[in-house]
Chains A and B, each alone.
Chain A
Amino acid sequence: MKRCNPIVVILVLAVALVGCVVVAISLGAVAIPFSEVARMLIARLPGVSLPPSWSDTSILRRAQDTAGISTIQAEVIIFQIRLPRVVTAVVVGGALAAAGAVFQGLLRNPMADPYIIGTSGGAALGATIALLLPIQVVWLGFTLVPLAAFAGALVTVLVVYNIARVGPRTPVTTLLLAGFAFSSMLAAVMSFLMLVSGHTLRRVVLWTMGGVTASSWLQLRIVVPLIVAGVIAAYTLANDLNAFLLGEEQAAYLGVNVERRKLVLLMLGSLLTGAAVSVSGLVGFIGLVVPHVARLIFGPDHRLLLPASTLMGSLFLVLADLVARLLLAPAEIPVGIITAMIGAPFFIYLLRRSKREYVF
């Protein structure tokens, strides 16, 4: 069994991600040349001062010629509109894919995704209630909807975890079933609320489809560190996740404190999911399929699987959002539709192509 060199894989994926970010920023209703985007981004890096020849207006003038916009307009488009959006796609895609990998490994279930133990139901109900309430709250740049979604996701997981507890243990089967039952109940409450609310129905439906549109720098200042910290923390537990694949009893024999680790991993996965959902609604598909794609290509070792899934999730959502913006421009398609429409055939192709049976 040949395995890829982890460092090479991570580097290649990281370079590809940076490339896609530049492309995604440059394309849109107004196209800005790649070179111009790269120059503006590099100029904003801390500690970078470009030589005068670079900050010269010659390139800018060409940009103005081709796109018919001024430098200031380009700056505004890049830094106030497109960059926050692309950064949102990067962190949301990465968070969902990382959370999916964590849940699949922890629960040893190929159908596990970030929403499996009720985060989606809790977040959706929270968001629905927030959309229905006639009050305006803004806290740390967040309106009530993302805050309620985040809280809903985490509270649901805590409730499900406690329902599933049998004495000192929380068996995986009980956890999965309790999660399913509890989130079904939440979904029913949400459907009922939507039914009686009438006019906000469309907004709720749009929210559940997910999208990376309306993120401000203020929101990102909170969400990005949260997600980056979550991914790093999950990575430090990669060895334990590998041990979990042997079953909980054997993981304990290998020195893993099973119940404590399980709670930590559940909370980490849910935190990542909650943070992602709060800024983007329920983006489906990525959290389920990206870890499988990574496993098919790079193997099941979480020390490579986790970072590779994270980067691939980012990459995938940046591209999907780009397609969602461009396909019917100026109209936008909910990104969840694109992720499934591009991702599913690619996944099926990979499944068919692999010569060995895909043993999850």
Chain B
Amino acid sequence: MRGNSAALEAAGVDFCYYENDGLVLREVSLELGAGELVGLIGPNGSGKTTLLRVLSGLLVPNRGKVYLDGQDIRTFDRRRIAQRVAVVPQELAMPFAFSAYEMVMMGRTPHVRPILGAGPRDRQVVAEKMELTATSVLAERPFSELSGGEKQRVIIAMALAQEPEILLLDEPTVHLDINHQVEILELIKRLNRRERLTVFATMHDLNLAALYFDRLILLDRGQVVANGSPAEVLREESIREVFRADVQVQQHPTHHTPQVVILPLT
């Protein structure tokens, strides 16, 4: 056990997929306090998804450690991790004909016992989480026939059915129209505020990230280069350098969060 118990913590993490390949993550240290709402930004290939995989215990760092509730995550087995940490992946293909309800029920996997299957408590949790994500009306529909926004809400309901303390999301708004982007981010914020979930999400849209997250972490080529409030992280110099794009940072007209405006090269 470590004294300062963050919900999830990376301490000096180096990671590479194959030996002799370059490091994808380099000395990454970060803490997620219980109940925090934190966004991870950075250009494509900066290691965002890899960091999420490391934090979920799926990938083991070459150096450094990940702590879950102050305890080395490697001492947990997958089932116990899944009861505390849920991951919403960037894309989830389900080619089989499962209904939305059956998909959400799969979130109970770390809780249900073999043979006995889902009990009344599992059904109750699934119903609650579908209510929470406004997916109850989709219950009987085949998952594969849902729209992008509906699918994303069902997948979030599935993650919530794990009854986690920590929710990790990989680009939860990618491929969605703005109305659905807002819908998903409002849902995530509600989960954080009302259900007291610790949320950590990778985001590629800097403005949405600034609007919805309390704290942002900027990743560049596998290294944390900024960590703080949106106003502290989204600064013109650092964005120009990390994203190699010419930008101007303005203030949101009503919310006083920074908003990044792109300046075309020509």
**Could you tell me if B99 and A1 are in contact, using CB atoms closer than 8 angstroms?**
yes
B-binding residues in A (CB < 8 A)? 1, 108, 235-240, 242-243, 245-247, 249-250, 252-258, 295, 299-301, 303, 356, 358-360
Q: Any chain A CB within 8 A of the CB of B192? A: no
Can you name the residue of chain A whose Cβ is closest to the Cβ of B114?
A236
* Shortest Cβ distance from B139 into A: residue: A1
The one of B92, B95, B114 in contact with A359, judged by C-beta atoms closer than 8 angstroms, is: B95
Given known A246-B92, A249-B89, A255-B79, contact A359–B97 (CB-CB < 8 A): yes
| B109–A252 CB distance below 8 A | no
Establish whether residues A247 and B115, one from each chain, have CB atoms under 8 Å apart when the complex forms. Answer: no
B92 touches A247 (CB 8 A): yes
Cβ of B227 to closest chain A Cβ, rounded Å: 25
Is B78 in the interface zone, CB < 8 Å from A?
A: yes
**CB-nearest residue of chain A relative to B110?**
A255
> With a CB–CB cut-off of 8 A, which chain B residues contact A254?
82, 106-107, 109-110, 162
Instruction: Establish whether residues A1 and B115, one from each chain, have CB atoms under 8 Å apart when the complex forms.
Output: no
Closest B residue, CB atoms, query A167 = B18
Question: Distance (Å) between the CB of A100 and the closest chain B CB?
Answer: 15
Task: List 19 other contacts, CB 8 Å, given A301-B98, A303-B117, A359-B96.
Answer: A1-B140, A235-B115, A242-B109, A246-B94, A246-B106, A249-B89, A250-B89, A252-B78, A253-B87, A254-B106, A254-B110, A255-B79, A255-B109, A255-B162, A256-B78, A299-B97, A299-B98, A300-B98, A359-B144
What A residues does B106 contact at CB under 8 A? 242-243, 246, 254
Grouping DSSP codes into helix (H, G, I), strand (E, B) and loop, the B interface class, with mixed when no group exceeds half, is loop
Nearest residue (CB) in A for B89 is: A250
Total B residues in contact with A, Cβ cutoff 8 Å = 36
B97:A1 contact, CB within 8 angstroms: yes
Q: Is B152 an interface residue (CB 8 A)?
A: no
Closest CB in chain A relative to B135 CB, distance in Å: 15
**Cα distance A127–B179 when bound, in Å?**
64
Contact between A300 and B78 (Cβ–Cβ < 8 Å)?
A: no
Does any Cβ of A come within 8 Å of B93's Cβ? yes
Contacts of B107 in A (CB 8 A): 254
Q: How far is the CB of A299 from chain B (nearest CB, A)?
A: 6
- A109 CA / B98 CA spacing, docked (Å): 17
Of the candidates B92, B114, B162, which one forms a contact with A238 in the assembled complex, judged by CB atoms under 8 Å apart? B114
- The one of B58, B97, B114, B140 that contacts A253, using a Cβ cutoff of 8 Å: B58
A250 B92 Cβ-Cβ under 8 A: yes
A255 to B159 alpha-carbon distance, docked (Å)? 12
Interface of chain B residues 142 through 184 with chain A (CB within 8 A): 142, 144, 162
**Per-position 1/0 for B68-88, Cβ under 8 A of A:** 000000000111111101110
State how many angstroms separate the Cβ of B199 from the closest Cβ of chain A.
Answer: 16
B105 to chain A, nearest CB (A): 9
